Amino acid sequence: DSGVTQTPKHLITATGQRVTLRCSPRSGDLSVYWYQQSLDQGLQFLIQYYNGEERAKGNILERFSAQQFPDLHSELNLSSLELGDSALYFCASSTTGVRNSPLHFGNGTRLTVT
């Protein structure tokens, strides 16, 4: 168990809809990262938050947004969903500032857009 909790595990929704994915990082970790993994593809970095503030942005679409709350949990909001947004969305956390600190991944949310 990595200590990172993601909810829900599965989500099925229709095109054009909006969903929110939730992540609780490992206790003590201040950084949260969001990744997208499409079928048989590698992990694509979306965005990173550190202690409530956006730290880095990757290939995140304008239809997607995220935030990290004071209790350090994070939410990824996906809107105007398209079929191509169907993927596994992973959250990871780390103790930023500690050199060689690993990323600890949750087990992901599987999003299916129909």
Residues of this chain that interact with other proteins (CB under 8 A) are 2, 4, 33, 41-43, 45, 48, 55-56, 88, 90, 92, 96, 99-100, 102-108, 110
Least separation, in Å, of the C-beta of 75 and other proteins? 18
- Strands 53-57, 44-50: pairing kind: antiparallel
Nearest to 33 by CA among 88, 110, 106: 106
Least separation, in Å, of the C-beta of 10 and other proteins? 10
Least separation, in Å, of the C-beta of 32 and other proteins? 13
Q: Measuring CA to CA, how many Å separate 3 from each of 21, 58, 92? A: 17, 24, 10
Q: Which lies closer to other proteins via its Cβ, residue 20 or residue 110?
A: 110
